[in-house]
Amino acid sequence: MTQVSHQQWGQVPGLGNVDMWTLQSPQVRVEVLTLGAIIRSVSCRGKHGQMEDVVLGYDDLEGYVSDKRYLGALVGRVANRIAKGHFVVEGKEFQLDTNNGPNALHGGLRGFNKEVWLAAEVEGGVILSHTSPDGDQGYPGELQVSISYTLQGETLTADYRARSTKATPINLTNHSYFNLSGQGAADIYDHEVSISAQSYLPVDDTSIPTGEIRPVEDTPFDLRVPVPVGVQLKKVPGLGFDHNFCLCSPRDDWTERHAARVLHPPSGRVLEVSTSQPGVQFYTANVLDGSIRGKGGVTYGKHSAFCLETQNWPNAVNQASFPDCLLRPGDEYHHVTRFTFTTV
């Protein structure tokens, strides 16, 4: 049985009140904010029964209002990068503001993470909804979007739905940063990760996929068998992992698949992720640099957490060989991601 409650958590000038919703099962406790549909915390037990919050975040609302790293947030209208912020839909060109070098990232200068969402209780959780107007951040069509977070036992389910009045690219994900040892841990080098992907997407020097779908075999991106994150990071070029792992082929049917498993041996905590999305972006917090002061005054540095952003493949709107990312009038966008927290 999951208990659901909510309370006012603060106020954002010009946007109004922000509430915090709490979902509590016997095994897991989750806090969700109406600002950005943010997962503020996930508390779960270790092998000795101790509860720890395993999600990075802030002690107060101001932290989230000024946050530039998408901590815990729902990102959209299009998560990840669009090359040069440019795409063509039905013969019409669209130019977005660029906010990540030459590219558009995570919905633009003011993405869904900075909006206050409407919230209502559903069985075992909360449903949050938002209307993105036609032309919002340069995207076509009025988009009606919702996400429900429901908690059943050890499993938190995120259910994303959307409809649009015009054909538009869409790619929604949650950008929670996890550290399974809890708050205050300096890094994730002692975590063990496995990702159920036969291939990944190589990227250029601005993190845009080159278009190649490369087998993981005999590369540092072969995570099909669990490996310590710290060991594997030494083998990856650049700052760390920030790559899309392909969970299926581009034209495969919609179905839920196992995506990833992360184990923290000292605490025994395990996070397993499954999703209907065709990809997962494994990100090792490469650009956190200690300048962010998070919960309890802890500073979040490089490699202090990991993200498993279930999503369509990056820049899919500009790559015909990637899974289709267009939502057309009359169709419904629908994806599901499940996070299960257990111990060994």
Let me know if 175 is a catalytic residue.
yes
Count how many domains the chain has: 1
pLDDT of 317 higher than 90: yes
Q: pTM here?
A: 0.97
Taking only the tens place, the pLDDT of each residue in 175-226 is: 999 999 999 899 999 999 999 999 999 999 999 999 999 999 999 999 999 9
Q: What average pLDDT does the segment 18-41 reach?
A: 98
175 is in an annotated binding site: yes
Per-residue model confidence as pLDDT tens digits over 107-147? 999 999 999 999 999 999 999 999 999 999 999 999 999 99
Percent of the chain topping pLDDT 90: 99
User: 115, 154, 192, 309: which one is catalytic?
Assistant: 309
User: Residue 176 annotated as binding?
Assistant: yes
pLDDT digits (tens, 9 = 90+) for 223-260: 999 999 999 999 999 999 999 999 999 999 999 999 99
User: Is 267 marked as a binding-site residue?
Assistant: no
C-alpha 15: how far from its chain's center? 23
Q: Considering the chain, what is the average pLDDT of its residues?
A: 97
Known active-site residue 309: yes
- Residue-range definition of the domain harbouring residue 181: 3-343
Mean pLDDT across 154-161: 98
Overall average pLDDT of the 51-70 stretch: 97
Q: Output the pLDDT for position 140.
A: 98
pLDDT of the residue at 142:
98
- Catalytic pick among 130, 175, 243, 264: 175
CATH of the domain at 173: 2.70.98.10
What's the pLDDT score for residue 184?
85
Distance CA 312, CA 233 (A): 24
